[in-house]
Structure 1
Amino acid sequence: MTRDVPPEVLSSRLGYLLKHAYLRLTEESSRALAPHGIDGRELAVLAVLDAHDELSQLEAGGKLGIDRTTMVTLVDALEDKELVERRRSPQDRRKNIVQLTPAGRERLHDAELARREMERRFLAPLSSTDATRLVRTLQSLVGAPTNADQASDSA
């Protein structure tokens, strides 16, 4: 992809800059994850399932901000790839728990390495301090916990 210089009238507009940075990031993410047979949304589902025990499809979708129908489609695709499995909750037989398979854990590990390397390359034009500042600023804007917040929560 060639990077066109934005028209001068748009070069300082936040919406324009965020949109085009996002488009570039998703393109690079797709390229990095393609060898692993998953996309960014599927990777996010695997990561959330790995981080939480005993999540239902609905609970995982809630953590990801994904509606029920889309979540079912994502879990179906991951199940077809044998990366997750559904099973009945022993506490509530009406609820399906979604868990990673051993292959899902391995794919998550490998894809996370690829994602981290892609993000490092994406942020390479920034100094380490500026890259960290950008991530923390974006976390503040979207209300996500920062690493400092996570450290104080575990203390």
Structure 2
Amino acid sequence: MKRDIENLLGYHINVVSHFIQNQYNQKLREHDLTMAQSKVLYFLSEHGEQAQGDMQKRLYIKGSSMNGLVDSLLKKELIHKRQSPEDRRTKLISLTDKGNEIEGQLWSLIDGIEKQLGEGFTSEEQQVIISWLKKMKHNVESLYSE
């Protein structure tokens, strides 16, 4: 069987993902943030206060990584962390005013990167790509939980 990495879907997705993540991290550095930190800010902005464990699962982050993200965002005063009144083991995370302000500023940065990614594609083609990627995500989600 001939092996040809150039015909592997996962290989090309990984390469594109690598370039996108580098681009995001380069732009986010201006705000002293990483892509992972910005995803936490976005998630809290969209969903409000969240249990740290729930957020970790929904963002596909390991526990130790989530702890590091929370610690770094606390030091930057972008989030609050408190104990749940119902269960002292549960930590609730929410945005500070500063975190909410920064999260709002990130959208112009994201918009610029998204425009660059979509160059040469019609909006319909972009929607097809998104649809395909969502299907792939669904196909591999079970691998993450193993």
Seen in structure 2, the aligned counterparts of structure 1 residues 10 and 67 have a Cα distance that, compared at 3 Å, is closer
* Matching residue within 119, 125, 128 for 2:123: 128
Amino acid at match of 2:113: M
Distance 2:114 2:38 in 1: 14
Tell me how far 1:132 sits from its aligned partner.
1.7
Question: After alignment, is 119-128 or 36-45 more displaced?
Answer: 119-128
* Aligned residue number for residue 72 of structure 2: 77
Tell me how far 1:28 sits from its aligned partner.
1.4
Distance 1:85 1:56 in 2: 12
Tell me how far 1:10 sits from its aligned partner.
4.1
1:66-98 deviation digits (Å, cap 9, x = unpaired)? 121111110000011110011122333332211
* Aligned residue number for residue 4 of structure 1: none
**Preserved CA contact (<8 Å) 1:36 1:110:** no
**Preserved CA contact (<8 Å) 2:118 2:126:** yes
Count of aligned residue pairs for this structure pair: 136
* Matching residue within 10, 25, 34 for 2:29: 34
Amino acid at match of 1:20: V
* Matching residue within 39, 45, 48 for 1:44: 39
Give structure 2 stretches of 5+ with no counterpart: 140-146
* Aligned residue number for residue 88 of structure 2: 93
Residues 1:111 and 2:106 aligned together = yes
Distance 1:143 1:14 in 2: 15
**Preserved CA contact (<8 Å) 2:78 2:99:** yes
* Aligned residue number for residue 67 of structure 1: 62
Give the share of equivalent positions with the same residue, in percent.
25
SS in 1 for 2:128: helix
* Aligned residue number for residue 7 of structure 2: 12
Tell me how far 1:30 sits from its aligned partner.
1.4
SS in 2 for 1:98: strand
Give structure 1 stretches of 5+ with no counterpart: 1-8, 145-155
Amino acid at match of 2:40: V
SS in 2 for 1:143: helix
Amino acid at match of 1:118: I
Seen in structure 2, the aligned counterparts of structure 1 residues 83 and 39 have a Cα distance that, compared at 3 Å, is same
Residues 1:141 and 2:108 aligned together = no
Distance 2:48 2:123 in 1: 34
**Preserved CA contact (<8 Å) 2:83 2:91:** yes
